[in-house]
Structure 1
């Protein structure tokens, strides 16, 4: 018997799928860039993952409906800022629509002008290597040109719709 050539329709609702995905604990990032006209862009994302050590590649995804999609698609660089456990307010601010995301936010300028948030657990400065359109999102693959981390920093975690900090077992 040959394997099917396409996936079967889902046997669950979108809400059931979302609830199941919520059982996977993730870190929390703010992905940042600077538009061609100098505007600062940033959004909270937990769809971040490593891809390869050689070359150093990471990925993240963004909804096709996101207002910032054109900036990330056209830009040469972006930064993935891994939030520390004391940055819950920043995670919420950059996830909110209509909020003044950048008011009072301290950052340094990275490769290609991408803002590097201060106080983060880690930062990955990425060349915008490739994009893949899948479903209702675009998957971005970044080639990491520079990275740094703060020794001893505790990351901000997200699980089941709530924020957490790490506790060693």
Structure 2
């Protein structure tokens, strides 16, 4: 009989593995600093919070470069990516591609000059109403100031879905 050494699992490792199998849509959270510079990161940690008042929430790691910008300006934008934005997702997922993130063909300026993603399934421009630190992240609760929807609305929206560390495609079942 041969004994096999097994690597002990930590709660953090097990939690990370459990979150990898939770499918989630991908948004780009964007902000504009006081000098007019654009900042952003890809997140799966954004969600609607309340209809009255219309509000969204996003969890941002306090080590992320966008964190101090949102903290200082009190504004952010959530851009729900569609499947055509796959190349842009790579730019926001890799710090060595930072200079390619905000090319003019992908971005417009929304309310307050915040960067809004052209062709997004939806865009929510928010003002921070509250923030709560937990662990390594801060959850920003934003009151929605503006919603931008595509014209016409997509009959079969195709959001980018993240599952098990890779991009997936969503398709309707007839």
Range class of TM-score, shorter chain: 0.7 to 0.9
| Contact 2:27–2:81 (Cα < 8 Å) also in 1 | yes
Considering only CA atoms, is the larger Rg found in Structure 1 or Structure 2?
A: 2
Cα separation, 2, equivalents of 1:77 and 1:149 = 19
Counterpart in 1 of 2:14? 16
Verify: 1:75 aligned to 2:79, yes or no: no
Unaligned 5+ segments in structure 1 are 1-10
Equivalent residue runs for 1:82-93 within 5 Å? 82-93=80-91
The TM-score, its normalising length taken from structure 1, stands at 0.88
Verify: 1:165 aligned to 2:149, yes or no: no
- Deviation (angstroms), 1:167: 1.2
Q: How much is the aligned-residue C-alpha RMSD, in angstroms?
A: 1.5
Cα separation, 1, equivalents of 2:89 and 2:135 = 25
CA shift digits 1:95-136 (9 cap, x unpaired): 211321224543111122110110111101111211110001
Cα separation, 1, equivalents of 2:131 and 2:73 = 12
More helix by share: 2
